[in-house]
Chains A and B, each alone.
Chain A
Amino acid sequence: GQQVKQSSPSLTVQEGGISILNCDYENDMFDYFAWYKKYPDNSPTLLISVRSNVDKREDGRLTVFLNKSGKHFSLHITASQPEDTAVYLCAADQGGSAKLIFGEGTKLTVSS
């Protein structure tokens, strides 16, 4: 089954609003969680990542929230901009496994 799941294939947010992208995982041994961003016909690039020893990490407009008991993590993008329009892929792995498992992706559209 899908070990890392993004239940929303798409999300539309108004410019200036908060985009909230969600990801659920099954393996409670996962200890590394990441969000990648992908523009059409481009390669994914790492946005932000967090280890399981923290519940939250901020980087500018981006914040990752980790809920280990709920096996859930999310990405919040404040002051969303049209250039944030892209596919966002969540990913997780178990330390040292060298196997980063990706979710299906959520297509975010920020409308002006």
Chain B
Amino acid sequence: EAAVTQSPRSKVAVTGGKVTLSCHQTNNHDYMYWYRQDTGHGLRLIHYSYVADSTEKGDIPDGYKASRPSQENFSLILELASLSQTAVYFCASSDRTGAETLYFGSGTRLTVL
């Protein structure tokens, strides 16, 4: 079964601090994604990647960076965390063949104070 694990499960950060959210998948999938969930907005795509060492901007990339050092790992980086980035963040992976089934991790609840 597809396995996507995120760490940490929850985090409290201070405004202006740096936050790194990590994601690891054992699916051998090429595509990985970062989404954020906010009440009333569903899931919005922040960054995605289809190959190691390359990332692409999603629909709401401002204030976020992404890093894909290997096929298995995909990180989301908030260099200067802001209150508006308080949300639940989901990582997901999908295979290369164009089948768009996304396999999601359990989510990271980030609170910026």
Contacts and interface: CB of A to CB of B under 8 A. Distances in A.
Interface of A: 4, 6, 9, 32, 34, 36, 41-46, 49, 89, 93, 95-96, 98-105
Contact of B100 (A6, A44, A45, A49): A49
SS class, residues of chain A in contact with chain B: loop
16 contacts: A6-B42, A34-B101, A42-B106, A43-B90, A43-B107, A44-B102, A45-B104, A96-B98, A99-B45, A99-B58, A99-B59, A100-B33, A100-B45, A103-B42, A104-B41, A104-B42
A45 B2 CA distance: 11
Contacts of A42: 106
Contacts of A32: 100
Given A43-B105, A43-B107, A98-B31, A89 B43 contact: yes
A4 to B, nearest CB: 8
SS class, residues of chain B in contact with chain A: strand
Name which of A4, A95, A100, A103 has the most chain B CB atoms within 10 A of its CB: A100
B2 to A, nearest CB: 10
Interface of B: 31, 33, 35, 40-45, 48, 50, 56, 58-59, 90, 94, 98, 100-102, 104-107
B48 A99 contact: yes
B98 A101 contact: no
A41 B94 CA distance: 21
B83 to A, nearest CB: 21
Given A43-B90, A98-B50, A105 B98 contact: no
B59 A101 contact: yes
A100 B41 contact: no
Given A43-B105, A44-B90, A34 B100 contact: yes
The 3 A-B residue pairs with the shortest CB-CB distance in the complex, in nearest-first order = A43-B104, A102-B43, A104-B42
A93 B43 contact: no
Contacts of B43: 44, 89, 102
B88 to A, nearest CB: 9
A6 B40 CA distance: 10
A84 B90 CA distance: 22
